[in-house]
Structure formats: C-alpha cells, structure tokens
C-alpha cells in the first residue's frame, strides 16, 4: 500500500486520470479509500449513500447493461457505437458506482442527501489520489437510465451520482491547473 500524502496537497493536486489500467487497488488500499468516502458530511447521520464495486467479469456484464440501455433508447445505433458503449466499463480494472440513497427525514431534504453522496465520491477521489491510485469520475446517460438503474438493483428513490473508475495511471498524468481563488471567492456585501 502506498503511504498517503499531506491532505492539503492531495486536495490541491488531485486531477482526473482518464487512462487507467494495471491492477485494481488491493484490499488494504481499498479499505483506506472507502473509509475516506464514509467521512462525507452527513446531516443527521443518515448515511444516504451506498456503493457497488465492479471488477473482473462484472465489468463485462455492466458493459452489456450499458449496451442494452443504449440500444433500447437508440434502436438505429450502429454496431460500432454499440461495441464502444459495451467497452466503456473496461477502461479501468475497478469501478465504484456511487449511489445516493436518500432517507425520509423531516429536517434533511433530499438535495442535501444527494450532495452528501457527491461529497463521498469526492472523498473517494481524493483518497485515491493520495494513495497513488488513478481515478476518474464519469456519468453520461448511463448514470440516469432506468434500464441501468434496474439492472444494478437501484430502488425507485435512488440515483447514480457517478461511476468512479480506479486503477493504475497509464501514460502521463497532467498536473492540476493553477486557479486564482480571488476569481471565484467574492466578498458579500461588496465593500464600499
């Protein structure tokens, strides 16, 4: 297992890694990554998220599910596009499906719970980066398709927040762009 880097460095230097291969993270590394995901802000401790790990042959089954959804929605899809769709889950050795699973609560609206699931996904990405695991958050139409939801066993109230692809970075990993905080953080009310 790779030792973690400084938390601030991990947050500030994290980038998406689209080219992934090699082996999936080992059990000890996964445990660290998954523990980080479970520390997402969670109003009322509802734990409004769950996760599916998909690897090995499961990636092929997910590809078949993606292809089924796409063919249902686009009956005239070309064979070439169907092959590309079926291959999408093969872009990394491990996929983690982040699912928002909101609970009924008088003081915690659904949007807060969906945001909590998004924060869990972000924690997972940062922890992956800190431990030397490449990661990419993807969505696309297959994140919102009812055929895919049914195939993955989602309940009617659940939402896919994203497919997180994890593996060993392949090729050059880009560096994080330098952004100037003053361009995004304004003072309100505006000083005279």
- pLDDT tens, residue by residue, 34-88: 999 999 999 999 999 999 999 999 999 999 999 999 999 999 999 999 999 999 9
Do the domain assignments include residue 149? Answer: yes
Do the domain assignments include residue 13? Answer: no
Q: Which residues of 148-174 are buried (b: 16+ CB within 10 A; e: fewer)?
A: bbebbebeeebbbbbbbbbbbbeeeee
**Residue 56 DSSP one-character state:** T
pLDDT for residue 1: 44
Q: Find the domain containing 108 and state its range.
A: 19-54+90-170
Other beta carbons within 10 angstroms of residue 61's beta carbon come to 13
Q: What is the CATH number of the domain that holds 121?
A: 3.40.109.10
Q: For residue 15, how far is the Cα from the chain centroid?
A: 13
CA distance 62 to 151: 9
CA distance 125 to 119: 10
Task: Assess contact for 95 and 62: CB atoms under 8 A.
Answer: yes
Do the domain assignments include residue 95? Answer: yes
Spatial CA neighbour of 34 closest among 96, 93, 94, 100 = 96
pLDDT at 3 over 70: no
- Give SS3 for 107: coil
Do the domain assignments include residue 6? Answer: no
Strand-pair category, 134-138 with 159-169: antiparallel
Distances (CA, A) of 55 to 73, 93, 146: 26, 6, 22
pLDDT for residue 4: 59
Segment 111-157, tens digit of pLDDT: 999 999 999 999 999 999 999 999 999 999 999 999 999 999 999 99
Do the domain assignments include residue 75? Answer: no
pTM equals 0.94
Dihedral angle of Cα 184, 177, 139, 85, to the nearest 10 degrees: 150
**Residue 77 DSSP one-character state:** -
pLDDT for residue 192: 81
Spatial CA neighbour of 98 closest among 108, 86, 113 = 113
Do the domain assignments include residue 25? Answer: yes
Total domains, the chain: 1
Do the domain assignments include residue 120? Answer: yes
pLDDT for residue 191: 85
């Amino acid at each position: 297992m790779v030792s973690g880097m400084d938390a601030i460095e991990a947050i500030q230097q994290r980038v998406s890694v689209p080219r992934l291969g090699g082996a999936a993270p080992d059990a000890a590394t996964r445990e660290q990554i998954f523990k980080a995901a479970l520390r997402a802000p969670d109003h009322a401790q509802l734990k409004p998220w769950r996760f599916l790990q998909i690897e090995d042959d499961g990636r092929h089954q997910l590809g078949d599910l993606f292809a089924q959804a796409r063919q249902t929605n686009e009956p005239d899809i070309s064979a070439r596009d169907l092959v590309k769709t079926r291959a999408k889950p093969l872009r990394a050795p491990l996929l983690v499906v982040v699912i928002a699973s909101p609970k009924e609560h008088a003081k915690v609206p659904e949007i807060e719970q969906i945001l909590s699931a998004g924060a869990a996904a972000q924690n997972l990405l940062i922890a992956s980066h800190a431990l030397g695991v490449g990661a990419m958050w993807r969505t696309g139409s297959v994140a919102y398709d009812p055929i895919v939801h049914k195939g993955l066993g989602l309940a009617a109230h659940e939402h896919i927040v994203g497919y997180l692809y994890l593996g060993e970075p392949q090729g050059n990993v880009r560096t994080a762009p330098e952004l100037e905080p003053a361009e995004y953080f304004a003072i309100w009310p505006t000083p005279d």
